[in-house]
Each structure stands twice: as C-alpha cells, then as structure tokens.
C-alpha cells in the first residue's frame, strides 16, 4: 500500500473520528477539518493537523481542500429531525458542492463521499412506505423526498459531475444506521423489548468501525468512475429470521434469497465485490439476547480474505 495524503471533512464527528483513526493506522498522512472549534493546547484532538472551516462557505472549502491525494467527505448534518429542513438540505448540498469545486480546481483525483441509505426514501419518509424487495440493494429506485435524503441524492449527482468534469473517481457510500460501541444498548434495546417493532430498512445497522474499514479500502482500492455502494452489518438487529420477520410484518414484500437466516435487510455484496470488504462486527459483541449491555469483545484481526489486508 502506498501512503496517501488524505483530508477528512467532518473529522470530529461520529464517523469522521473513526475514519481518522483507521486511516492513521493504515499509515496514511491524514489531516482534518470540521466546524468544531480547535483545541489549542496539547490534546488527543490534535493528533492530526486540523483546521476549523465551514465548508458551506466556498472560501473556507478552497482554503482547506488542497494539497492532498484524496478527500473523505463525512461532513454534514446527519439526519433531518434536529435542524430546520432548509438548513439540512442547503448545508449538506452546499458543503459537498464546495468541496468538489475545490477538488476540481486543485486536481485532487479521488473522493469518498458519505451518502446514506436514506436516498432510498424509507427512513425519513413523510408518507411511510417499505421497499418492494428485501434485501435492499443498489437496484432499488431512489425515492427520497425528505430534506436529508434529498440532500444525499444531490450529493451523489454532484459526484457524477465531479467524475465527468475532472476524470477523477468517486464512491458514494450508503451506510445504514451507524452505531458506536457505547450506543448499541440505548439504540437497539427497544427492538428486543418489542420483537414486533419494525424498521424502515428491515432491521439493518452498521458498526462505525466496519464503516471506517470500508472507507480505508475505498482509499486503497479506488474504482473507476462513480460507484454507489450500500453498507450494513452482516446480520440484523436481534438476529431474527429475516425472511419470516419480513413476511410477517410486510407480506407484500418480495423476499429474495438471503446469505444467512439472520441476514441484514441491506445487501452489501457490491462493497465486497468492488473493495473486498466484509463487516466483522455485530450487536452480539455488545448485547445479550435481551438487548442488555455486556462486556464487548473486539473481533480478532481481519484476514486478507475478509478485508483486503490489515495494517
């Protein structure tokens, strides 16, 4: 692997922090930017060079998006419930637009864009609906109509334009519900307490560390053009028999062949084909069968067969 200079936007957010750690562990030269204030004294937040910038301001974007080999763009408002709709949409779209403008101007050839499974439309739908088929994959039509899902749809169009304009390459990752080791119990316990509680994307989720592993692979093994890729854990919340659960909750949904009985409601096989990614972490590492926290056990090192190599 050749070490690269990488800018991580949103580097102090939930995903950005983990991506920084993963890329540093892989030996890359990492720098970060976010809207959060700098820490001026010695502190773990200063492990990498950091510049505060508001990427919705073009001047800020051009000041920080420069002199790197690739950009991992995780910055943005991560869901639509805690900000007014126009702020969610304009923040996410304008920041992505400005990052790409700066990349084109600076000749930066590789973009890893954090999109969302919300592009499919179900998660934040004003008029709820479910996918016609399970598991969900990239062939599902994009039907987002909420401010957040729409902003991510537009971000993917901007990636298409980046490739057409520059000849560079991009991947838009569509992770599902991103969990961290300390949020499994609070977020998932309701699904154990009420086994009939449904999920907009068929009980899919992903561990933030597996997502960071995928992003690192996207840096090390760039695709041609612009690819859109879903990302989810291998299993579903609670380890339910997915075919039976979907048939019971949504009998109108066509359940396709599954890789395992407790498979995720999202098919991540494209990520495996393009980047050699296999998710290694599960809710079972953190919760018992009642959804209560237990001592987390970190899975052992991945092999070359599962993640394209470890560092």
258-311 pLDDT, tens per residue?
999 999 999 999 999 999 999 999 999 999 999 999 874 455 444 333 323 322
What is the rounded (10 degree) CA torsion for 83, 174, 253, 245?
Answer: -90
**Alpha carbon 278 to its chain's center:** 14
Give the CA count within 13 Å in the CB-facing half-sphere of 308: 21
Most distant pair of Cα atoms in the chain: their distance: 58
* Predicted TM-score of the model (pTM): 0.93
Q: How many whole angstroms separate alpha carbon 53 and alpha carbon 14?
A: 17
Domain assignments of the chain as residue spans, ordered by start: 5-307
What is the reported pLDDT for 294?
86
What is the reported pLDDT for 299?
52
Angle at 207 between CA 186 and CA 293, to 5 degrees: 35
Q: From the first residue on, what is the mean pLDDT of each consecutive set of 10 residues in the chain (311 residues)?
A: 93 98 98 96 91 98 98 98 98 98 98 98 96 98 97 98 98 98 97 95 98 98 97 98 98 97 98 98 97 68 33 23
Angle at 212 between CA 311 and CA 20, to 5 degrees: 80
Pick the CATH number of 5-307 from 3.40.50.720, 1.10.1740.10, 3.40.50.1980, 3.20.20.150: 3.40.50.720
């Amino acid at each position: 692997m050749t070490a690269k200079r990488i800018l991580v936007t949103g580097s102090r957010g939930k995903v950005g922090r983990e991506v920084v750690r993963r890329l540093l562990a892989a030996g890359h030269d990492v720098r970060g930017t976010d809207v959060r204030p700098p820490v001026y004294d010695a502190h773990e937040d200063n492990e990498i060079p950091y510049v505060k910038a508001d990427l919705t301001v073009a001047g800020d974007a051009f000041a920080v998006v420069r002199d790197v080999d690739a950009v991992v763009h995780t910055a943005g408002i991560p869901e639509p419930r805690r900000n007014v709709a126009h702020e969610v949409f304009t923040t996410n779209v304008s920041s992505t637009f400005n990052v790409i403008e700066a990349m084109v101007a600076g000749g930066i050839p590789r973009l890893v864009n954090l999109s969302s499974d919300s592009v499919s439309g179900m998660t934040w739908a004003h008029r709820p609906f479910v996918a016609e088929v399970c598991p969900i994959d990239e062939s599902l039509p994009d039907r987002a109509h909420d401010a957040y899902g729409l902003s991510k749809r537009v971000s993917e169009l901007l990636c298409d334009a980046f490739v057409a304009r520059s000849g560079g390459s991009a991947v838009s990752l569509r992770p599902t519900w991103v969990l961290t080791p300390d949020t499994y119990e609070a977020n998932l316990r309701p699904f154990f307490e009420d086994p009939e509680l449904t999920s907009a994307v068929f009980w899919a989720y992903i561990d933030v560390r597996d997502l960071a592993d995928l992003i690192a692979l996207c840096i090390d093994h760039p695709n041609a053009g612009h690819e859109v890729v879903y990302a989810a854990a291998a299993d579903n919340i609670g380890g339910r028999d997915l075919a039976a659960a979907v048939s019971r909750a949504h009998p109108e949904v066509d359940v396709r062949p599954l890789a395992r009985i407790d498979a995720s409601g999202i098919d991540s096989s494209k990520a495996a084909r393009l980047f050699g990614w296999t998710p290694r972490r599960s809710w079972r590492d953190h919760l018992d069968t009642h959804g209560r926290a237990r001592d987390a056990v970190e899975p052992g090192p991945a092999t070359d067969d599962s993640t394209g190599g470890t560092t």
